[in-house]
Amino acid sequence: MRALTKVGFIWLLLGQAIKLSIAGTLPHIDIDVRYREQTALLEVSASTKLTTEHGRFFLNKDIPITRVDGLTNVKVTDGSNFRSFELTDESSGLIKLEYSIDLRNKKHSSGSGVAEQQNALGSADNAFLSASELWHPLFNGPFTARVTIRCSRSLSSIAPGMLVSDTVSDDVRTRTFELKQPTLAIDLMFGRWEVQHARMSGKSREIDLYTYFNEGNSSLANEYLGLTEDYILFYENLIGDYPFNSFSVVASPLPTGLGMPSLTYISERILKYPFIKNRSLPHEILHNWLGNGIFVDYQSGNWSEGLTTYLADYMVTELRSEPEAREMRHGWLRNYGSIEASGGEETLSDFSSRYHTASSAIGYGKSAMVFHMLRRIIGDESFKSCIKEFWNRYQFEIAGFKEIKRTCQSFTEYDLSSFFKNWVETKGAPRLNIELRQNENIGDTVDVTQDGEWTHPLDIVFEGRSESETTRLLVSENRTALPRKTVANAESIFVDPDFHSWRKLFPEEIPSTIRDFIAAKVTNYSQVDTRLNIESSLNRYFLENATQSITRETKPLLDKTPSIKVISTQSVESLIEDGEIELQLEALHHLEFMMLASKVDDNAILYIAVDDNLGIERIEAHIARARHYGKYSWLTINSGGEIVKGKQKISPHSFPIR
C-alpha cells in the first residue's frame, strides 16, 4: 500500500531535473486512447504544442510510433530507457503522435532500485497502465491534459481528473477526463465495476465521490463514500480546500495500492480490512494535498511520505488512542533499530521513494517522527498554522524540506536551522544517557547526555515513591545539566519513556519478537528435554537462514547468536513456575505447540515447545503457521488448532538516582 505513483522518480531515472518554477503557461496534452480488450492493445493518439518555453518531451523508447503529424523541426534522440523529442529552433507548433501499446507484454517492469511493481496489465476484464511506463508525452514538469478513453461498453475506464462526459454508442463507451490542475503524469485503469456516486459540499466546491468496486466489494461502497467525505472534511479543516472536483476509490486486481490525483487504486482483496479504511484511505486522500497538490522536489528528499504518514496514519491513530499512538512511535524506532544493524541507512534528503525496508524506515518512519518533533518544538497551534501556510504558498508548485523550514520558521522564535540540518541532512540517531555529577559551583546535577549535538525536545521523568514529575528539555548539545535539588525526592529517572524523540532504543525497550529469529543471519539450535529433532523442519518452513547446531558446531560461536531451544510441551509449566519464561497459564490448555521469544541476560532465546506425541507433519504445519506471526512475542496452538498470541510489554529504561 501507500505507494504514490512514482512520477517524480521518473525524472531521476531520466536524469532530468524537474523544473522548480511553474511560472508562465503550462504545456497541455490531448490524449485519445482506445482499449481493445480481446487483444489487450491500447491505441494512443497524443498531441501537444511545443514552444520555446516547453520545447522537449519524453516517451518510452520501446513504443513503436506509427505516425507523426505536425512539426517537422523536431530532433528525436534515444536515451537509456526513453526517447526525447526536442524542438530544434525558435518556432512553435503542434505535434501529434500515434502508436499502440501491447499491455500483455508488459510485466514487472521497474527502474533501477525501484521495488518490483507491476506497471501494466491487460486482459479482457481489466487493464492498467502506469505513468512510470512513460506511455504518454511527458514534460520535465507539470502539465494540464484532456484524456478521452474509449473501450467496449461492457468495461468502464478511469483516469485522474474530472469526468466531463460519459457516453455509449455502437457498443463503445467514451469517457473524457479533464486535468485542469497541473499534474505530473497520467495512469489509466479499465475494469468491470459497479460504480456508486455521492456528492459532498467541500469548503469551496461541490465534490463528486465515486467507488468503482468489483461485485464482491459492492456492499462496502456506502461505507467508503461516507469515510471519504469525513476524511476530506477533516483535511480541509486541517490544511485547506480540497484541490480537485472529485475523488474515486477504485478496486484493483493487482496486489499493490497506488495513489494518484483525485483517486486511489486499491487491491480488491483488501478493501474489506479495517487498516485500509483507517490508514490507507486517509493516507491516499491526504496525498491530494501533499504530493499531488504540492509536488515533491525529489532532488532534495521526498518529504511527502513522512508528512502524509504523520498527518494520516499517525494523527488518525492519535485521535483515537494515545497508547496506540505511542506504540506507533515505538514501532518507528524499532524498525530503525533493525535497519541500523544491517546498514543501508540514508538521510531524509536522499530518500526519494520506498524500495526496500531500509528506505521505508527512514522515508516514512523517521520522516514522520521529525514532523512530530517539529510539532513539539513549535507547539500545536504553530504547527497547524505552518501546514496551512505551506499549502497556501506552494499548492501546485514544487517544494522541498527547505520550503517547509522557511514556512514554519515564520511561526516560531526558535531558530530551526540546526533542527532541520540535524534530522534531514544527517544519518544516525542519538544514544541518550543520564549521568549524575557533582559540581562545585551549581551543586549536584543530573546530566542528560547524547553522542552528538542533536536538537530535539526531550521528556525526562523523575519518579518518586508516590509521585512523578515530567520536565521537557530542548536539548541541542552533548550535555544538558539539571540541578539535582529540583528533584530531591526522585528515586529513578526515565528518558523519553513515551518515545517522542528519534533515538536509539535502550535494550529493554526492544521487545523480543518471533521475527527476530526468522530473519536472523544465524541461529543456534538445541533440544533440551525432547528427542524430537525439528531442526531441518525449522530450516525448511521457518528460518530465512540455516541454523548451526551447537552439538555439531566446532567453531567458536558468534557472540550473542540468537538461540532456538526446543522443549517438550510437558515441561512448559515448570519453566513458567521457575520464572524462566513468562506466559499466562490459561494459554496452555491442550497445548500442542508454543513459540516464545525471550531474552536472558541480553541473549535472545526462542523457546519452541512441541508435543512429542504429534507426527512431524502436524508439527511442520504449526511451524509454517507460526511464521506468519512474526510481529508477536509468543503464540500457542492448542489441539483444536486455535492460536493465542501476544506481544511483550515495552518497559522503558530507568536510571537509578542516589
Contact residues for Zn ion (CB under 5 A)? 2, 4, 305, 308
Cβ of residue 188: shortest distance to Zn ion, in angstroms?
A: 21
Residue 119 or 636 having the CB closest to Zn ion: 119
Our CB check for Zn ion shows the closer of 2 and 279 to be 2
Q: In whole angstroms, how close is the CB of 242 to Zn ion at the nearest point? A: 17
* 6 vs 173, beta carbon nearer Zn ion: 6
| CB atoms closer than 10 angstroms to residue 198 | 16
Nearest CA among 183, 192, 171 for reference residue 22: 183
Apex CA 361: angle with CA 355 and CA 363, to 5°?
A: 70
Question: Least distance (Å) from Zn ion to the CB of residue 337?
Answer: 23
Rounded CA-CA distance 359/50 in Å is 38
With beta carbons less than 8 A apart as the criterion, state whether 152 and 173 touch: yes
Q: How far is the CB of 143 from Zn ion (least distance, A)?
A: 22
Which single residue brings its beta carbon nearest to Zn ion? 2
**At closest approach, how far in Å is the CB of 307 from Zn ion?**
10
Shortest Cβ 363–Zn ion spacing (Å): 9
Query: Of 27 and 400, which CB lies nearer to Zn ion in the complex structure?
Result: 400
Least separation in angstroms between CB 294 and Zn ion: 14
Q: Which is nearer to Zn ion, 10 or 543 (CB)?
A: 10
- Of 4 and 50, the one with the shorter C-beta distance to Zn ion is 4
Beta bridge mates, 178: 146, 162
Dihedrals phi, psi of 223, to nearest 5 degrees = -60, -45
CA-wise closest residue to 400 among 352, 365, 358, 437: 352
Whether the CB-CB separation of 645 and 629 falls below 8 Å is answered with: yes
Give whichever of 239 and 510 is closer to Zn ion, judged by the CB atom: 239
- In terms of C-beta density within 10 A (0-12 exposed, 13-18 middle, 19 or more buried), how is residue 97 classed? buried
* Alpha-helix residue ranges (DSSP H) falling in 297-397: 304-308, 315-320, 322-342, 357-360, 367-378, 380-394
Task: Read off the DSSP letter of residue 332.
Answer: H
Rounded to a whole number of angstroms, the minimum distance from the CB of residue 4 to Zn ion is 5
Based on the number of CB atoms within 10 Å of its own CB, is 532 exposed (0-12), middle (13-18) or buried (19 or more)? middle
Helices (H), 244-312: 274-275, 281-286, 304-308
Shortest Å distance, C-beta 281 to Zn ion: 12
Q: Is the dihedral of CA 367, 379, 398, 186 positive or negative?
A: positive
d(CA 364, CA 378): 21
H/E stretch holding 222 reads: helix 221-238
Nearer to Zn ion, 268 or 284 (CB): 284
Q: Are 121 and 5 in contact (CB under 8 A)?
A: no
CA distance 375 to 605: 39
User: Residue 647: exposed, middle, or buried by beta-carbon count in 10 A (0-12, 13-18, 19+)?
Assistant: middle
Helix pair 322-342, 367-378: axis angle to 10 deg: 130
Q: Is the CB of 228 or the CB of 308 nearer to Zn ion?
A: 308
Q: Tell me the closest approach of the beta carbon of residue 368 to Zn ion, in angstroms.
A: 11
- Let me know how long the chain is: 658
Q: How far is the CB of 631 from Zn ion (least distance, A)?
A: 21
Task: Give the nearer residue to Zn ion in terms of CB position, either 157 or 308.
Answer: 308
What is the C-alpha separation between 469 and 480, in angstroms, rounded?
A: 18
Nearer to Zn ion, 353 or 530 (CB): 353
Closest distance to Zn ion from the beta carbon of 152 (Å): 34
Grid cell listed for 199: 456528492
For residues 35 and 371, which CB has a smaller minimum distance to Zn ion in the complex? 371
